[in-house]
Amino acid sequence: MLAPGDLCRSHRLRAYDAVQLACTLALREYTLAHQVAEPIFVCADVGLLDIASTAGLRVENPNTYP
């Protein structure tokens, strides 16, 4: 699992964005190990969504909702 500090350095994220992403990545690892539904990363920051998607997370942008 990547630590928030690693995410900040590799993707130039702000600290809280890195924490949010690291937590979701850890949750995804847990769900895969326990055969339950994967989390969906919901965020309005398009750059952060791109990074999350690249990391293998399912993503949704609430700004695209009607």
Whole-number pLDDT of residue 1: 58
Q: Is 12 helix (H, G, I), strand (E, B) or coil?
A: coil
Question: What total number of domains does the chain contain?
Answer: 1
d(CA 17, CA 45): 10
Instruction: Give the residue numbers spanning the domain of 52.
Output: 4-64
For 12-44, write each residue's pLDDT tens digit: 788 898 889 999 999 999 999 999 999 999 999
pLDDT at residue 2 is higher than 60 = no
d(CA 24, CA 21): 5
